[in-house]
Amino acid sequence: MNSYGSFIFALISLKMAYVATGVILTCPDGWSAWDTSCYRFYNNPKSTWDGAQAHCNRYSVSTAHSRHVAHLVNVDSSQEQNFILSWWKTMRTNYDNEYEVVWLGLNDKSKEGRFDGTDGCPPKFTFWDVNEPNNLRGEDCASIWNTHENHDNGAWNDSPCTDQYAFICEINF
């Protein structure tokens, strides 16, 4: 990965509007809002899992009480999965009817077979493809892979962490 420098977004750039029922979030330029998170898709250059996570970690948003550091996306519900899939499909450019892959913030590097999110906690939701995760080639990092076989349905696979794929960063609030 190239050096991207550090991007700290000031609170004012968030343009957070408060309503009676809670917070309506408007994300920094280039980021998309859903629920209480901001997301950004990176496709060029593609990256290893560690490189992708390091790239995400360069972004943060500071609010009055805390600093929210971006990380590879943790998909916590079927609703978030549906949002991510439809949003990603609007941006990807090279789906070739074979497969396209995007890293998720989930791996079993610390203990084979036990997948943890980037927060170190077990996932609240999973959407593994048929017969996945299979650790086929010593695969420890989770991805969405859209293939002919799974009808582009956004199912998850474990892949070698050194493979280079597109990725999605998330900032939680």
Under the rule (CB under 5 A), what is the footprint of Ca ion? 108, 132, 134-136, 139-140, 157-158
| Shortest Cβ 170–Ca ion spacing (Å) | 22
CB 67 within 8 A of CB 61: yes
110 or 135, CB closer to Ca ion? Answer: 135
CB 156 within 8 A of CB 128: yes
* Residue 113: DSSP 8-state: T
| Shortest Cβ 154–Ca ion spacing (Å) | 15
Among residues 140, 136, 131, 137, which one has the least CA distance to residue 113? 140
Please identify the residue of the shown chain whose CB is closest to the bound Ca ion: 135
| Shortest Cβ 39–Ca ion spacing (Å) | 24
25 or 106, CB closer to Ca ion? Answer: 106
30 or 138, CB closer to Ca ion? Answer: 138
Q: How far apart are CA 169 and CA 38, in angstroms?
A: 8
| Shortest Cβ 115–Ca ion spacing (Å) | 8
61 or 75, CB closer to Ca ion? Answer: 75
55 torsion bin: left (phi>0), alpha (psi -120 to 50), beta (else): alpha
